[in-house]
Amino acid sequence: MPGLTAPSDYAEEPPRHPALRINSKEPFNAEPHRSALVSSYITPVDFFYKRNHGPIPKVDDISRYSVSISGLVNKHIQLSMDDIRMLPKYNVTATLQCAGNKRTAMSKVRKVRGVGWDVSALGNATWGGAKLSDVLELVGIHKLSSVTSLGGKHVEFVSVDRCKEEKGGPYKASIPLKQATDPDADVLLAYEMNGETINRDHGYPLRVVVPGVIGARSVKWLDSINIIKEECQGFFMQKDYKMFPPTVDWDNINWSTRRPQMDFPVQV
């Protein structure tokens, strides 16, 4: 998109703290050691876990960056960062956690696929930005709505980030419209983290923060917001992050029999 691009290689990755435990170099996935994580209630940005699916997007011209809102709404718009900053700003302290946290412990019982996270794929930060419920009012969706006049029931977030799981397409995820339009749910379009401009690893210039839900739904490097009838059909909603009984393995799995994982307890 104009102003924000996804590189094709890892030549321009941002610097990271040398104390991080690296689980994957390309794409970069890393976590702090437990002692660093528990040393502060608010996790310093340098020690907040890094979860990525490809090269980190880069802002070329912030004045050209915008987020589109379209789909099953009567009004389609483009919002610049100036537009978003004009909305009331809220600070929300919320924990994000990767759904794969403690995956290495799981593999000791039974081998599982995915990044080999230890116990620190989580972090607690104060996020600053506009509430999604305020943003959606700009396209005529009232607060506490569960369906739009055109039948939209879910809010899909599409990233600039490109990933192999989507066959080179963008990372995407969704949440129910009812959650997105609830001011008390504190869903944000965040541009600050711990009082500073959010950095590249964590979604600069704009990301979604969905408190109480697995980190996979808090989409970084936001490109567009789509109001859709059914939940997002992306890979990470339909063919990953689902819970199955022990009788299911990779040879007999039927992804359509389970709903995407959403609410998730913090594990340490």
State the pLDDT confidence band at 246, using cuts at 50, 70 and 90: confident
152 vs 2, higher pLDDT: 152
Give the model confidence (pLDDT) of 217-229 as tens digits: 999 999 999 999 9
DSSP per position, the chain: -TTEE--SSSTTPPP--TTSEEEETTTTEEE--HHHHTT-SSPPGGGS-B--SSSPPEES-GGG-EEEEEESSS--EEEEHHHHHTSPEEEEEEEEE-TTTTHHHHHHHS---S----S--EEEEEEEEEEHHHHHHTTT--TT-SS-TT---EEEEEEEEE-GGGTT-EEEEEEEHHHHT-GGG--EEEEEETTEE--GGGTTT-EEE-TTB-GGGS-SSEEEEEEESS---SHHHHSSS----TT--TTT--GGGSPPP-B-----
pLDDT tier for residue 268 given thresholds of 50, 70 and 90: low
pLDDT digits (tens, 9 = 90+) for 151-194: 999 999 999 999 999 999 999 999 999 999 999 999 999 999 99
Reported as a single tens digit per residue, the pLDDT across 108-155 is: 888 888 899 999 999 999 999 999 999 999 999 999 999 999 999 999
Note the pLDDT of residue 168.
92
Mean confidence (pLDDT) of the chain? 95
pLDDT > 70 in the chain, percent: 100
Q: Where are the domains of the chain?
A: 14-239
Whole-prediction pTM: 0.96
pLDDT for 267 beyond 80:
no
Look up the CATH number of domain 14-239.
Answer: 3.90.420.10
- Does the pLDDT of residue 233 top 90, yes or no? yes
